[in-house]
Structure 1
Amino acid sequence: MKRKQITQIINVRWFPKFLKTLVAEFLSWFVLKVNATKPFIPVIEDILNKTYNKRIINIEFGIGAGIETVKPFLNDGVKVDSIAISNFNTSEKGVYLFVNSFHQLNASEAKKILQNIEESGNPVVVVEGNNDSLWQIVGMTVFVPLTVLLTAFFVKPFRISRIIFTYLIPILPIVIVIDGCIALLKLYNPTDLLALTSSLENNNYEWKAGKNDNGRGGKIMYLTGRKLQ
Structure 2
Amino acid sequence: MKGLKRIQLFEFEDFEWFPGWLRSCMTRLIVILQSMIRTDQAIAVLIARVYKEKGIMPIVDLGSGAGGMMPDVLGLLKKQGYDSATLLMTDLYPNEQAIAKFNGKEDPSVRYSEQSVDATNMRQSPEGLKTMMNSFHHMRPEQAKKILASAKDARTPLLIYEMGENKMPLFIWWLFLPLSLLILMIMVLFMTPFVKPMTWQQLIFTYLIPIIPICYAWDGQASMPRMYALKDIDILLEDLHGNDYKWEHGAALKPDGKKQGTYILGLPVN
TM-score, length-normalised on structure 2? Answer: 0.76
Q: Give how far 1:201 is off.
A: 5.3
- What code does the residue aligned with 2:10 have? T
Between the aligned partners of 1:190 and 1:69, the Cα distance in structure 2 is: 27
Between the aligned partners of 1:217 and 1:51, the Cα distance in structure 2 is: 25
Q: Give the structure 2 partner of residue 77 of structure 1.
A: 84
Alignment of structure 1 residues 182-197 onto 2, 5 Å: 182-197=222-237
Q: Give the structure 2 partner of residue 129 of structure 1.
A: 163
User: Higher mean Cα deviation, 32-41 or 106-115?
Assistant: 32-41
Q: Give how far 1:79 is off.
A: 1.1
Alignment of structure 1 residues 1-229 onto 2, 5 Å: 1-62=4-65, 65-75=68-78, 76-85=83-92, 87-88=117-118, 89-91=122-124, 92-134=126-168, 141=181, 143-200=183-240, 202-213=242-253, 219-229=260-270
**8 Å Cα contact 2:11-2:219 kept in structure 1:** yes
- What code does the residue aligned with 1:191 have? K
Between the aligned partners of 2:8 and 2:75, the Cα distance in structure 1 is: 32
Between the aligned partners of 1:181 and 1:216, the Cα distance in structure 2 is: 26
Residues 130, 142 of structure 1: alpha-carbon distance in 2 compared, 3 angstrom cutoff:
farther
The residue matched to 2:165 in structure 1 has which SS? coil
**8 Å Cα contact 1:66-1:100 kept in structure 2:** no
Structure 1: 4+ residue segments shifted above 4 A = 137-140, 213-218
Between the aligned partners of 2:55 and 2:194, the Cα distance in structure 1 is: 40
Q: Deviations over 1:13-46 (max 9, x none)?
A: 2222211111111212332244233112211211
**8 Å Cα contact 1:28-1:65 kept in structure 2:** yes
Residues 47, 140 of structure 1: alpha-carbon distance in 2 compared, 3 angstrom cutoff:
farther
- What code does the residue aligned with 1:14 have? W
- What code does the residue aligned with 1:15 have? F
- What code does the residue aligned with 1:167 have? Y
What's the Cα RMSD here?
2.6
User: Higher mean Cα deviation, 159-168 or 33-42?
Assistant: 33-42
Q: Give how far 1:199 is off.
A: 0.7
Q: Give how far 1:96 is off.
A: 0.8
User: Higher mean Cα deviation, 207-216 or 75-84?
Assistant: 207-216
Between the aligned partners of 1:147 and 1:213, the Cα distance in structure 2 is: 25
TM-score, length-normalised on structure 1? Answer: 0.88
Between the aligned partners of 2:69 and 2:234, the Cα distance in structure 1 is: 23
**Structure 2: stretches of 5+ with no match in the other structure:** 94-116
The residue matched to 1:109 in structure 2 has which SS? helix
- What code does the residue aligned with 2:215 have? V
User: Higher mean Cα deviation, 11-20 or 106-115?
Assistant: 11-20
**Structure 1: stretches of 5+ with no match in the other structure:** none
Q: Give how far 1:196 is off.
A: 1.1
Identity of aligned residues (%): 24
- What code does the residue aligned with 1:224 have? L
Q: Deviations over 1:47-71 (max 9, x none)?
A: 2221223211110251764524533
Q: Give how far 1:172 is off.
A: 0.8
Between the aligned partners of 1:154 and 1:183, the Cα distance in structure 2 is: 23
